[in-house]
């Protein structure tokens, strides 16, 4: 009986040893198999994507500056006086004394900081309008630590772009070359370069193009131009006006905004495409501040009202109302006119008018081909501020 028990115990122990041995020999096989898969995947990634951003970072950081913008007391007082005139001596002015319930002065000089990109060797810098638009005292800090004064050349609130220029220094500055932003693709690597929070100067983050052509309705004003490039490169307050570059260090866009529930980066950042920025920068350098206006009309797309209004035209924009003091009124456009072409471009709907006129500004002349009571007419409007 003892012998039978001994054989049984020995058998059990032997079985356990065999199972343990199988487990032991199984484990290295699984690890090796996983390692082989990791190596294979790694090789595929490395042969398909250039993840070495050292050159691009070096090029971009040398051409991206930190901007400190201040509003002088004189300018603040002028703004206060203009605000009072616009309110026409509201009783609230006397009650609050130009401030709020707590005695804070809304008209104290403004200040802020952001980033900028040198786009010419003689010191022209592009940034956001919201970074410098309010300021008349501007200093820039180069990547080498030098602080220099800059002058505001002009702004375009409709695109949130501004141009400043380093003054009083005769030297050649490092600059960024433009990339063709129309060629960027979703999934392409990009770097965001700037000074987040104002003190982390020359910071570089990497991400990919997440989407293109975003219209977010985040720029204030009646006539805005939004064609944002969306990325997941980390951008925070202070990065505004900084560079979005490709893996060659060429300028893809100007970082401008983030989508966030907290006020800091939450995974989505937005940049103004370089091709759009290039057009605006040239216009600002040549003409200074840009003020864009609409024609001053309201109406409907003909295709939506053709039957209800018993119209003979199949396409175009039907003018229902003309604003008093607008370019349309002064140019002779009338309610009931159907706009068929603007500057020679065919108009099927309101969006076509916006597309054709998106770069027009105060002082430009616009040629309209309209149908009025069945008769074709040509009208020339000089764009002006609305009264």
Residues catalogued as catalytic: 130, 160, 240
Provide the phi-psi class of 96: left if phi over 0, else alpha when psi is between -120 and 50, else beta.
Answer: alpha
Dihedral sign from CA coordinates of 211, 217, 220, 226: positive
* Strand-pair category, 365-372 with 375-382: antiparallel
Q: CA-CA distances (angstroms) from residue 98 to 75, 78, 81, 85, 343? A: 16, 14, 10, 12, 47
In whole angstroms, give the CA distance from residue 159 to residue 251. Answer: 17
> How many CB atoms are located within 10 Å of the residue 334 CB?
14
Q: Residue 64 belongs to what H/E stretch?
A: strand 64-70
> How many CB atoms are located within 10 Å of the residue 171 CB?
8
List alpha helices for 198-268, DSSP H. Answer: none
In whole angstroms, give the CA distance from residue 82 to residue 106. Answer: 13
In whole angstroms, give the CA distance from residue 72 to residue 74. Answer: 5
Q: Which residue has the tokens 């770097």?
A: 191
DSSP readout, 163-215? EEEE-S--SPPP-PPBP-GGG--TT-EEEEEE-GGGTSTTEEEEEEEEEEEE-
């Amino acid at each position: 009986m003892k012998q039978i028990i001994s054989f049984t115990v020995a058998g059990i122990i032997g079985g356990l040893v065999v199972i343990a041995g199988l487990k032991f020999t199984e484990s290295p096989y699984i690890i090796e198999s996983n390692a082989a898969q990791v190596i294979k995947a790694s090789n595929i990634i490395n042969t398909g994507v250039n993840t070495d951003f050292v050159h691009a970072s070096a090029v971009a950081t040398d051409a991206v500056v930190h901007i400190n913008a201040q509003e002088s007391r004189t300018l603040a007082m002028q703004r206060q006086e203009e605000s009072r005139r616009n309110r026409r001596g509201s009783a609230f002015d006397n009650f609050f004394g130009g401030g709020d319930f707590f005695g804070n002065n809304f008209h104290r000089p403004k200040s802020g900081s952001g980033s900028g990109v040198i786009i010419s060797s003689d010191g022209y810098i592009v940034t956001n309008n919201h970074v410098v638009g309010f300021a008349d005292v501007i200093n820039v800090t180069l990547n080498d630590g030098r602080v220099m004064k800059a002058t505001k050349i002009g702004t375009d609130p409709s695109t949130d772009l501004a141009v400043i220029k380093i003054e009083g220094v005769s030297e050649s500055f490092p600059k960024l070359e433009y990339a063709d932003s129309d060629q960027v693709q979703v999934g392409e690597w990009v770097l965001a370069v700037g000074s987040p929070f104002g003190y982390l100067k020359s910071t570089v983050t990497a991400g990919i193009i997440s989407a293109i052509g975003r219209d977010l309705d985040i720029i204030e004003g009646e006539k805005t131009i939004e064609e944002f490039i969306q990325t997941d490169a980390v951008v925070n307050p202070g990065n505004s006006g900084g560079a979005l570059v490709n893996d060659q260090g060429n300028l893809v866009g100007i970082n401008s905004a983030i989508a966030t529930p907290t006020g800091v980066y939450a995974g989505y950042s937005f940049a103004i495409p370089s091709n759009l920025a290039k057009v605006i920068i040239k216009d600002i350098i040549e003409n200074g501040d840009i003020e864009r206006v609409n024609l001053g009309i309201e109406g409907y797309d003909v295709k939506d009202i053709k039957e209800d209004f018993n119209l003979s035209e199949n396409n175009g924009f039907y003018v229902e109302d003309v604003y008093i003091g607008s370019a349309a009124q002064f140019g002779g456009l009338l309610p009931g006119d159907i706009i068929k072409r603007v500057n020679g471009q065919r108009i099927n709907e309101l969006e076509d008018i916006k597309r054709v006129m998106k770069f027009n500004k105060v002082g430009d002349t616009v040629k309209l081909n309209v149908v009025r009571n069945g008769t074709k007419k040509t009208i020339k409007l000089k764009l002006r501020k609305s009264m």
